[in-house]
Amino acid sequence: MSIWTRIADAISALAQGEGLSHVFDRMRTPPERTAAFAIAVIALGAKMAKADGLVTRDEVTAFREVFTIPESEEKNAARVFNLARQDVAGYEEYASKIKSLLGDDCPSMQDLIEGLFHIAIADGEYHPNEDQFLLHVAEIMGFSERGFKSIRARFVPEAERDPHDVLGVDPDMPMSEIKRAYRAAVRSSHPDQMMARGVPKEAIKLAEKRLIDINQAWEQISAQNAQHAS
């Protein structure tokens, strides 16, 4: 059974009135846990796409960029997105349930938030309603203000972008500690690590942008440190 079939079956259960708690409670182990992660991105992405009042073709396309969808699974994927968009459950409920499912697994929740940011900026505009939506989801999932700012700095062109925010470190930390944080961020972004924590292989594209941003931030901080030392 493909991940898209598992996801479509779960979303269908929601659409037919099966409780969200019951559906997610059945998805705590692989491969269902992987499908649960995808449902969270799809459902929250579908609802966020309407946060600025309009679901655009760009936002739907962005969803397809986050997830690699084989041609044979396109109908199932479309069904998932449409059912999630129509589901009466509020996004807060989805966010709370995925938080319960993932526990305190911060890397997995970061994967989720990054997927939502990718969809939010797809139409070339980061709407204030989208910012509020993402901030609220991040708060539900236990993100600190710094953690949220770190992700927003990497995705939103007009956001204040400090390389220290990108790595989630303080500017006055010793370089040895910043380097450790950088290496940990690189390890966490490895596709094998992401799949181990439940990110579907169909969504590993999420790692590509993160690695680029992490490496650029480290290069900037290293250059600034070398300047100060000379």
Report residue 178's pLDDT band, with 50, 70 and 90 as the boundaries: very high
Q: What is the pLDDT of residue 66?
A: 66
Tell me the C-alpha distance between 80 and 144, whole Å. 31
Dihedral angle, C-alpha 199, 200, 202, 206, nearest 10 °: 0
Tell me the C-alpha distance between 3 and 76, whole Å. 10
Higher pLDDT, 29 or 161: 161
Distances (CA, A) of 54 to 78, 123, 177: 18, 10, 44
Interval 113-118 mean pLDDT: 84
Backbone angles phi, psi at 171, to 5 degrees: -60, -30
State the amino acid at position 73 in one-letter form.
Answer: E
Three-class DSSP category at 123: coil
% of residues, the chain, pLDDT over 70? 67
What residues does each domain of the chain span? 3-162
Interval 114-137 mean pLDDT: 84
For the stretch 48-99, pLDDT in tens is 776 666 665 666 666 666 666 667 777 766 776 676 666 656 788 778 877 8
For residue 154, pLDDT beyond 90: no
Higher pLDDT, 84 or 194: 194
Evaluate the CA torsion angle 13, 14, 17, 21 in order and state its sign.
positive
- Domain at 3-162, CATH class: mainly alpha
